[in-house]
Structure formats: structure tokens, C-alpha cells
Amino acid sequence: MAGQTGLVALVGAGRMGSALAAGWLKKSRNQIAPEHIVFVDPRPSESAAELAERHGVRVAAQLNKALAGEVAELVIAVKPALVGEILAPLKAQLRPDVLAVSIAAGVPLRTLGRALPGRPAVRAMPNTPGAIGKGISVCVANEAADAPELRARAERLLKPAGPVEWVEDERLMDVVTAVSGSGPAYVFLFCEALAAAAEAEGLPRKLAQELAVRTVAGSGALLTSNMGDASELRRMVTSPGGTTQAGLDSLMGGAGLPGLIRNAVAAAARRSRQLGADTN
Ligand SMILES: NC(=O)c1ccc[n+]([C@@H]2O[C@H](COP(=O)([O-])OP(=O)(O)OC[C@H]3O[C@@H](n4cnc5c(N)ncnc54)[C@H](OP(=O)(O)O)[C@@H]3O)[C@@H](O)[C@H]2O)c1
């Protein structure tokens, strides 16, 4: 891409890292030229190795001093527990203006700041559908990264996973984690429960599963197609006194689905806060 002033180093070329990199390398988007990317991973995933081979992206087991000095943007996509130890030896080698973008779940800005003092850092939370470009990422920037140009650079790196939103208060990342981070699992559970209920009512297992999966996937597609928001769409498909109304009455009455979801999000946010405190 024009204006790229150094390398984009992807530290951790696993599932999410290679999904992001696949987006950077898409010709149609004219994103980042392969010669401006380096994968840093002692054992890159199969998809990362394939990407590197196809596009001629450099792969390094670790960032040596010479390579580290060329890095303009460091994307950290290793498991959260490894972030501190992987960044520690890089502190002295990276440029003072390197932009660090970490997608490691739950790793706070203060950990990034401690590992890379003075550098602009962005903590991002993408989610699992991001691996196929259908996710959403929420970011928070440290003080050094609090500038439109730096935010735009971080967004460019995250856009392959889906749209990018920002929060100003890092504490909100616990809620983000509980909603979009953990949310796919809630939806998968709903899908499992719908299939199990279909089977319990007499449908063969295979058909029950197909109906549940396509209902969840199709409804998700409708939600993102600008045909209306969730409650509008729900009202559209619910005739008073009909079958959907009977089902919804059961889901929404008493301690129904809205209350359960409220509790689930609160519990996940609480757990995220606990895990964050443990990394202090
Ligand atoms: N997947 C998601 O949907 C998702 C969503 C939100 C956030 N995240 C975050 O993204 C990060 C990566 O998740 P993932 O699912 O992509 O995990 P992953 O597939 O395990 O990828 C991590 C990669 O880092 C490699 N690695 C291990 N030690 C390394 C080192 N010293 N230097 C460089 N690379 C090293 C791993 O190699 P080995 O496999 O050989 O150890 C692996 O290839 C995590 O922090 C996670 O919290 C992921």
C-alpha cells in the first residue's frame, strides 16, 4: 500500500492472525503489499504457511534485531498468556513509534504499556466470526495512540475481520467481551437447543440440525441486511395469536430469555473483570 513506512509484523500466525493477514493480502482491496508483511511464528498455522507461500510473505521464527527495527506496526495475535514474555525481549529493539495492535483477549493496555513503554498501543477485541470476515472488533487506545492517524492505521489492520468500533473507557472491554466475544457461543447454544427441541418434537436428527442451523444463519443474515432491527423483524414475523406468538410467549414470560441473557452477559463481564485483575 502507498505510504507504508515499514513492516507489518504479525506475531502469532495462527487462526485469527492468518485470517487477518488473508484480508491484508487481498488484491481487490489493495491493502498491504506482501513485501511489507512478515509472519513471526515458530510454527505458523497451515493457512498462514499457505498464504506466505502463495504471496511470498516473509516468515521468521522470531523478530531479530534487524527485522524489529523495520517494523512500523506490530500485530500481536498469540495466546494471551504469552504476550508479556514474547514482547519483553523486543522492548529495546522496536522503534519508539511502532504501533502495537493486540488482539489477545483480556490483555490490558497496561500490560502492553509495560512491555513496550511509550509506544502507541491499541487493544482490540475481535470475535470468532471475524475469522471469516463476518465479525466485529472493538478497540481502545492508550494515550500514545490517541490520534486519528494511529486509529486509522489500527482500523486498516483489523477491518478484514469486520467493522471496527472504539470505546474510550477500557473497562467497557469487559462488557464487549461478554457480548460480542462470548456472544457467538450463546448463539451456538441457542442453535443446539433449537435442534434438540426439534428432535424432541419428532423430527429426525439430521433435519432438526439443518433447520436449526439455517434458521439461525438466515436470521443473522436478515439482521445484517438492513431490513430492520431485531425487534422490528420479530414483530414482522409474529402474527397475533399465531404459532410464533405462542412460542415467543413461552420464551419471554417469567424468567424468560431476556432475563437469562441479561444474567449471562453480567456473569461473563464479571468473569472478564476477574481475569483482567489476575493479570495485574
Ligand atoms: N480465534 C478467535 O476467534 C479470536 C477472537 C478474539 C481474540 N482472539 C485472540 O487472538 C489470539 C490468537 O488466537 P487464535 O485463535 O488465532 O490462536 P492460535 O490459532 O493458537 O494462534 C496463535 C499462534 O501463535 C503461535 N505462537 C506460539 N508461540 C509463539 C511465539 N513465541 N512467537 C510467535 N508465535 C507464537 C502459535 O503457535 P503454536 O500453535 O505452535 O503454539 C499459533 O500459531 C488470542 O490471544 C486470542 O485471545 C482470537
Q: Is 205 a residue whose pLDDT tops 80?
A: yes
Q: Apex CA 55: angle with CA 52 and CA 58, to 5°?
A: 45
What is the C-alpha separation between 219 and 109, in angstroms, rounded? 36
In this structure, how many other beta carbons lie within 10 angstroms of the beta carbon of residue 263? 11
Domains of the chain: 7-170 (3.40.50.720), 183-274 (1.10.3730.10)
The grid coordinates listed for 243 are 404459532
pLDDT in the model for residue 29 = 64
Indicate whether residue 103 lines ligand 1 (CB < 6 A). Answer: yes
The answer to whether residues 101 and 72 touch, using CB atoms and an 8 Å cutoff, is no
- How far is the centre of ligand 1, averaged over its atoms, from the C-alpha of 257 (Å)? 33
What is the C-alpha separation between 179 and 207, in angstroms, rounded? 30
- pLDDT category at 254 given cuts 50, 70, 90 is confident
- How far is the centre of ligand 1, averaged over its atoms, from the C-alpha of 153 (Å)? 22
- How far is the centre of ligand 1, averaged over its atoms, from the C-alpha of 78 (Å)? 4
What is the C-alpha separation between 152 and 146, in angstroms, rounded? 11
Q: Whose CA is nearest to atom 37 of ligand 1?
A: 43
Which tens digit of pLDDT belongs to each residue from 10-31?
999 999 999 999 999 987 665 7
Indicate whether residue 78 lines ligand 1 (CB < 6 A). Answer: yes
Q: Whose CA is nearest to atom 24 of ligand 1?
A: 12
Contacts of 75 (CB under 8 A, 6+ apart): 8, 9, 10, 11, 17, 20, 101, 102, 103, 157
pLDDT in the model for residue 255 = 77
pLDDT in the model for residue 276 = 75
- pLDDT category at 5 given cuts 50, 70, 90 is confident
Q: Is 280 a residue whose pLDDT tops 60?
A: no
Question: Which residue out of 41, 102, 127, 275 has the highest number of ligand 1 atoms within 8 Å of its CB and is therefore the one to mutate?
Answer: 41
Indicate whether residue 105 lines ligand 1 (CB < 6 A). Answer: yes
Dihedral pair phi/psi, residue 72, rounded to 5°: -95, -35
In this structure, how many other beta carbons lie within 10 angstroms of the beta carbon of residue 95? 15
Indicate whether residue 42 lines ligand 1 (CB < 6 A). Answer: yes
- pLDDT category at 2 given cuts 50, 70, 90 is very low
Indicate whether residue 127 lines ligand 1 (CB < 6 A). Answer: yes
